[in-house]
Structure 1
Amino acid sequence: MQGTYKTQTTNTMRLYLTSYNLANCSYCTRDGKTVYKVSCSSSGLGEITATIWRSLSKLEPTPEEVLWAEKHFGDDAIPHPSVPYTNEEPIESYRKSLESQDDELLSWAGPPPTVDDYKRCSSKSEAKQGLTNVAEIEMHSISSTVIRHLGNEWKASEFFSKAGWGWYGSDRIFKGPDDNEYRWKMGPAGAELFLVDTDPKEERGKAHVPLLVARFSNAELNGDKLPAFLEIFPAGEDMADWILITFIYVEMMRKPTYNRYLT
């Protein structure tokens, strides 16, 4: 990829694709645990919808005392014999931190894992954890693409603005949930996302170096194609949903033969 960017190399997250079809595969951690899954479907009328799923928190068995309390609810609730009675229900947070996967040991011995390895392990992960629908990208052959996320809806023509031009299409700029502007720069092997705003800490007189937020890597080693991955840097850890949604959109627009994403 061309360009000079500032990067934050600590605590980056790599989401490995379980297929070379980026709009019809799972995105999993280095040890094969699914974080996102994307699937495409067609209405047969020139409309293709990419649905994005996110893995649920690990499901744990409900404690016996909680089941007891739910069974004996009301003003005369009966406390479970083994625990003190309280009418205060603890609140647990399931916020998942996007920490570095590079420090984790691979689950496979020997050669680096292949796409099939990731596919097999991610399938087991999805069966254990479950998935929830978080977004849809509804692409039309004539009208504007529609993006949906957690009950909100935007037209792509209003959500994105174009900038520049190159062999691989115009860059796409959008406003993130933090009200900052981000720019997907199109490249020969994929795209890179960086923060548009200038860093106020930079010294005057120096050329501005954009902050790299995420990038897609699709490389080969000794002629063999390696599993592709989407790398999210710390600057983007709080907007992982939007990074994946916009990444899927710009890549599908970069190669507009949508039908190949259905298989």
Structure 2
Amino acid sequence: MHLYLTSNSPWDTTYCTESGQVIYKAESRALLGPRHITISKVQPARTIDLDADGKVPEEALRDAFTELGKVEWHAITYSKIRVGDGEEVSVKDFFRKDGWDSYGKIGVDGLLGRGRVFTGLDGKEYVWKMDSTKPKLYAFAKKGENETLVANFHQQHFGLVGKARPASLEIQPEFNHMADIIVITLIYIEKLRREKAGQNSGGD
């Protein structure tokens, strides 16, 4: 599955297929307090009742969405995350930091910090690894084991060198069933990665 973003900010955008069908949307708002990010998914096709004039009601032409989760981003204290109907929890409880890569080296992500490991709905562990340009998600591999790529995020490319392309999220076909939690966790991870790349503290 390859989803294309309508902006370069995963926390304030829509996620579309190559044909333009919206699958997810993330809406961000921040007033005086923390930034609240709501993640929603388009509802499946539904039966539409015509109005008294035999026409399709205008509201029925709009995509209907179901809320999937939330990220509450804090610049200083721990941020919070909620997946599905679960409880909102601190990111320090949702993720754990991984200090090993598959070669047994400490500090897998260098200056941007260690990987962030979470448990999927299938009970298995997955790790987001951050580098200077984009995060990648792997099925968690213990020391000495081989890694399996699950998904990676591509930032927008403006085409000054090479072809222009929008930001996108590429999920390997065998992990398409995990798309919901991948989108939710990507939003937190990419926000964190950019904060760290900009040498801003907090939110971790």
- With the length of structure 1 as denominator, give the TM-score of the two structures: 0.60
Runs of 4+ displaced beyond 3 Å: 219-222
Where 1:167 maps in the other structure, the secondary structure is helix
Equivalent in 86, 92, 100 of residue 152 of structure 1: 86
Secondary structure at the counterpart of residue 110 of structure 2: coil
Q: Decide which structure has the larger Cα Rg and report it.
A: 1
Alpha-carbon shift at residue 59 of structure 1 (Å): 2.4
Alignment of 1:56 onto 2:43: yes
Question: Deviation at 1:127?
Answer: 5.3
Tell me the secondary structure at the aligned position of residue 191 of structure 2.
Answer: helix
Q: What secondary structure sits across from 1:255 in the alignment?
A: helix
The yes-or-no answer on 1:174 pairing with 2:162 is no
Residue 137 of structure 1, aligned match among 71, 90, 106? 71
Q: In the superposition, relative to structure 1, how do residues 222 and 140 fare at CA in structure 2: closer, same or farther (>3 Å)? A: closer
Q: Which residue of 2 aligns with 1:97?
A: none
Return the alpha-carbon distance in structure 1 between the equivalents of residues 116 and 190 of structure 2: 11
1:239 aligned onto 2:166: no
Conserved? CA contact 2:10–2:186, under 8 Å = no
Aligned residue in 2 for 1:212: 149
1:94-119 deviation per Cα after TM superposition (whole angstroms, max 9, x unaligned): xxxxxxxxxxxxxxxxxxxxxxxxxx
Question: Counterpart of 1:158 in 2: which secondary structure?
Answer: helix
What corresponds to 2:55 in structure 1? none
Match of 2:54 in 1: none
- The number of aligned residues is 174
Distance in structure 2 (CA, Å) of the matches to 1:18 and 1:195: 28
Residues 57, 129 of structure 1: 8 Å contact kept: no
1:39 paired residue number? 27
Query: Distance between the aligned counterparts of 1:169 and 1:41, measured in 2?
Result: 27
| Alpha-carbon distance in structure 1 between the residues aligned to 2:13 and 2:156 | 18
Give the RMSD, CA atoms, in angstroms.
Answer: 2.3
Q: Percent identity?
A: 33
The answer to which structure, 1 or 2, has the higher relative contact order (CA under 8 A, 6+ apart) is 1
Conservation of the 8 A alpha-carbon contact between 1:169 and 1:186 = yes
The residue aligned with 1:194 is 138
- Check conservation: 1:180, 1:197, Cα contact below 8 A: no
How far 1:213 moved relative to its partner?
0.6
Q: Which residue identity lines up with residue 136 of structure 2 in the other structure? A: E
Q: Distance in 2 between matches of 1:127 and 1:174?
A: 37
Contact 1:52 1:135 in 2 (8 A): yes
**Maintained 8 Å contact 1:236/1:243:** no
Distance 2:166 2:116 in 1: 25
Q: Which runs of 5+ in 2 are unaligned?
A: 51-59, 99-106, 199-204
